[in-house]
Chain A
Amino acid sequence: MNERRFPAALIFGTAVVLLWAAVALAAPWVAPHDPTRQDIGNRLKPPSQDHLMGTDSLGRDTFSRLIYGARPTLGLVALVAALMAPMGLAIGIIAGISGGWVERSLMGATNLVLAFPPLVLALAFVGLLGPGLINAALALLLTGWPAYARLSRAETLILRRSDYIAAAEMQGITGFRLWWGHLLPSCLPSAQVRLALDLARIILAAAALGFLGLGIRPPTPEWGMMIAEGSRVVFDQWWVAAFPGAAICLVSLAFNLLADGLRDRADPRR
């Protein structure tokens, strides 16, 4: 196996993700223009020195909107990541430890949610409850946790009977400390990979929701919505839709690379 490539993917992926987060957080200092300032006389201009990525249909600077647009995406990703994985992992561990009807019903619920087509369900959720960051995050969260539950339950079942856990229990470590300190860490490597992949998928799903008009409210820039706005003029002013799309690709790609790199590092056959 070529040792050199994997660190490359990991490094590149991590670098881009960190850069993106940094840019999003530092947006007010990095963006050259106010992303909501309209200049109707200057609308739909191609890229130039003053407007590196041109202007949109209200004369707003696309480059600045792109930078600020990183924020809702970052917010969404952080929100979902912070809740989805812990929730799923916890449910799986509880199921694995409890056994009996608790396990059966939790796993039943997990399988049920897994059987739903995720994007369609997210669409229905946001479509019926109304657009917005919270609703979109909630929708993606509720369709994403089962994978983690399955993962952690499988790990828990294997470890439950192992000597490793038996030894810990003999030392008097039980309950929460047991699974925080012992069960959870063994789930983490696969969970990490899964999470990175999911984040890539979530960015795309959030963009899709934004594209369909179910995303964040204006005038807050958001990449998916920018693509939708740009699609109205794509045949002549291609840049309005092209740049946000490229940004989504880049960040999603970074997460995919990150996932790839993490997976290869976690691969026990190395």
Chain B
Amino acid sequence: MFVVAQSLDDLVSLDPAEGFELSSLQAFTALYQRLVQPDRNQPSIVRPVLAANWTGGVRSLTFELRPGAIFSSGNPLRPEDVIFSLSRAVRLNRAPAFILNELGWTADNIDRHLLKLDDRRVQITWSKDLGAPVVLNILTAPVASIMDEKEALAHEAHADAGNGWLRSHSAGSGPFKMRRYIPREALVLDANVSSPGDAPLLKTLILKNVPDAATRRLLVEVGDADMARDLGPDQIDALGGTPQVKLLKFPSAVIHYLLLNTANRQNPALANPALWEASRWLIDYEGIADKLLRGQFQVHQAFLAAGSPGSLDETPYHLDVARAKAILERAGLGQGVRIRLSVFNQPPYGDIAQSIQATFAEGGIALDILPAEASEVYSQIRSRAEEAAWLYWVPDYFDANSTASAFALNLEDGTKTLAWRAGWQIPELSAESRAAALEPNAEARATRYRAIEASVQRSSPFVIALQARTVIVVRRPVTGYFQGLNADMAYYDRVSK
């Protein structure tokens, strides 16, 4: 029995077509598989999983399914299961559906885009202007998990395609299957020995909800838990010398940034690029990364996380109050600038915000911190009501296009990208982002993205400051855990103790 102490409070649904919280996404990696999935060590390479191989056409891909693959229920994998899984995700239209909408799929046209060719092959087509590499990456997203159609429909109620039942049960082919789900308490998983990806080494995996970080640390220290996630830097320091535990550090694709809402009419200073530039010099990057949040973050100032293909790793900015003040003076903003900063009311955002408040104050800008619930902050941003916010970005699917089309795309057609939310007008940069999504050659794509990142780094109302590191504490005998760049890539199948 392997016990993981983490917070499960965010978990709402374990239906891959619906769940979009960190805890559910990580559970999907254990419970389900997709046609293709990123290689663990080189996530830019896509490996066949439930698909054995594929061939590409014009806006189409034909997959041949893996022979002998079966679900945890014993039912064999068929093209009907693929079609069912993908079309229901689009039709149910829940939180993660937008990822599949990127392919141009909607509830009306989805049936035309998924075709069963024969008992072993299924063809997928799409209408948007995207190259095959991007589409393959999209199909690695958890929302594209393949589930057992027969099992799901056997539990269907009120024509919900099994949604009600799948919220707390699993019907997949992943290394684990669900034994019990007690909301807000625990997720108990058993090994799925018939999994096409090989049976896991553990017999039972328990994800236990422990909302308090200090308690999580206590549990792993005394051995009541084998692994503890999301410990703050203080808890980790406190564990420092303990021989019974060890730290696992993995690079993560989560980036933290400051957003300045230039569309906010009430605070015209925000629309002034001088303010954006000054802000870049008023954050104590090293102080926050190294001293405040020791080891849990690294300084990174571009929108593609280090370790992803196409990332820009130069960090030209550092804390320079004098320079910032000079910039503000020149722009006539030397006095009386006041900004309201919205942040999430949990650690470490409060601490980060207070650090920024202090350094901005030195530069002559007064920051009023407004901590609020995550949904309230997002609500403000959607309606463009906030002045500034400290946010984090997690790519929705593992492809540069996901992030680029948020930070560097503003089409003025109403598509609500991050750039739109910040009121940043960028017709040329948007065109470049769209071209990059079509580029078939990987090297060339990476170069294009680096150029786009440089633009964002130097002239946008986003101040990208930190990249997270996933730090996990395990008991000493534990081996085999791996965490990929993207938040959902939590691999428990090789874990043993």
- Given the known interface contacts A58-B354, A232-B347, A235-B217, the answer about A217 and B234 at a Cβ–Cβ threshold of 8 Å is no
Stretch at the interface among B10-18, B269-277, B368-376, B465-473: B368-376
- Docked complex Cα distance between A57 and B347 (Å): 11
Contact present for B291 and A213 (CB under 8 Å):
no
Contact A219 B370 (CB under 8 A): no
Among A179-206, those with CB < 8 Å from B are none
Given contacts A213-B345, A217-B371, contact A232 B354 (CB under 8 A): no
- A99 within 8 Å of B by Cβ? no
Total CB contacts across the A-B interface at under 8 A: 56
A232 CA / B214 CA spacing, docked (Å): 5
A40-B291, A58-B355, A233-B234 given; A217·B217 CB < 8 A: no
Interchain nearest-CB distance for A251 vs B (Å): 25
Contact B234 A57 (CB under 8 A): yes
Asked whether, in the complex, the Cβ of B291 is within 8 Å of the Cβ of A41, the reply is yes
Chain B hits for A235, CB < 8 A? 214, 217-218, 238
What is the bound-complex CA distance between A37 and B291, given in angstroms? 16
Contact check, A232 vs B232: say whether CB atoms are below 8 A apart: yes
Q: How far is the CA of A234 from the CA of B232 in the complex (A)?
A: 13
Given the known inter-chain contacts A232-B213, A233-B214, please indicate yes or no for A219 contacting B234, CB distance below 8 A.
no
CA distance A234 to B217 in the complex (A): 11
The answer on a CB contact under 8 Å between B234 and A38 is no
Contacts of B370 in A (CB 8 A): 217
CB neighbours of A131 from chain B (8 A):
345, 371
B350 in the interface, Cβ–Cβ < 8 Å?
Answer: yes
- Residues of A contacting B355 with CB < 8 Å? 38, 40, 58
Within B353-376, the residues touching A (CB, 8 Å) are 353-355, 357-358, 369-372, 376
Total chain B interface residues with beta-carbon distance under 8 A: 26
Measured in the bound complex, the distance between the Cα atoms of B292 and A139 in whole Å is 36
- Distance in angstroms between the alpha carbons of A58 and B214 in the assembled complex: 17
A217 contacts across to B, CB distance below 8 A: 369-371
Chain B positions within 8 Å of A175 at CB level: none
CA distance A58 to B357 in the complex (A): 12
Given contacts A213-B345, A232-B214, contact A218 B371 (CB under 8 A): yes
Please indicate which of the listed interface residues B214, B217, B376 has the most CB atoms of chain A within 10 Å of its own CB. Answer: B214
CB closest residue in chain A, given B343: A218
A217 CA to B292 CA in the complex, in Å?
20
**Which chain B residue lies CB-closest to A219?**
B354
Chain A residue numbers with a CB within 8 Å of B213 are 232
Query: Smallest CB-CB separation from B358: which chain A residue?
Result: A38
B287 within 8 A of partner (CB):
yes
Q: Is A236 an interface residue (CB 8 A)?
A: yes
Annotate B212-230 by CB proximity to A: 1 below 8 A, 0 otherwise.
1110011000000000000
Check B212 against A231 for contact (C-beta < 8 Å).
yes
* Secondary structure of the A contact surface, majority rule: loop
Min CB–CB distance B348 → chain A (angstroms):
9
B351: Cβ under 8 A from any A Cβ:
yes
Q: A43 to B372: give the CA distance in the assembly, Å.
A: 25
The digit string for B420-445, where 1 denotes a CB below 8 A from any CB of A, is 00000000000000000000000000
Please judge, given known A-B contacts A232-B214, A235-B214, A235-B218, whether A40 and B369 are in contact too, CB under 8 Å. no
- Rounded to whole angstroms, the CA-CA distance of A43 and B217 in the bound complex is 19
- Given A57-B234, A58-B355, decide whether A130 and B287 contact each other with a Cβ distance below 8 A: no
Does A44 reach chain B (CB closer than 8 Å)?
yes
Contact with B along A131-142 (1 / 0, CB 8 A): 100000000000
| Contact present for B218 and A219 (CB under 8 Å) | no
User: Which of B218, B234, B292, B350 meets A218, CB within 8 Å?
Assistant: B350
**In chain A between 159 and 187, which residues have their CB closer than 8 angstroms to a CB of chain B?**
none
CA distance A9 to B291 in the complex (A): 48
Q: Which residues of A contact B376 (CB under 8 A)?
A: 130
Q: Which residues in window 35-67 of A have CB below 8 A to B?
A: 36-38, 40-41, 43-44, 57-58
Contacts A38-B355, A57-B351, A58-B292 known; 16 new A-B pairs at CB < 8 A = A36-B358, A40-B287, A40-B291, A40-B292, A57-B234, A131-B371, A232-B213, A232-B214, A232-B234, A233-B234, A233-B235, A234-B214, A235-B214, A235-B217, A235-B218, A237-B234
A residues in contact (CB < 8 Å) with B: 36-38, 40-41, 43-44, 57-58, 130-131, 213, 217-219, 231-237
- Contact sample, A vs B, 29 pairs, CB 8 Å cutoff: A36-B354, A36-B358, A38-B354, A38-B358, A40-B291, A43-B292, A44-B234, A57-B351, A58-B292, A58-B355, A130-B376, A131-B345, A213-B345, A217-B369, A217-B371, A219-B354, A219-B357, A219-B369, A232-B232, A232-B234, A232-B235, A233-B214, A233-B234, A233-B235, A233-B238, A235-B214, A235-B218, A236-B234, A236-B238
The 9 A-B pairs at the shortest CB distance, nearest first, are namely: A236-B238, A40-B291, A233-B234, A40-B292, A38-B358, A232-B214, A219-B354, A235-B214, A218-B350
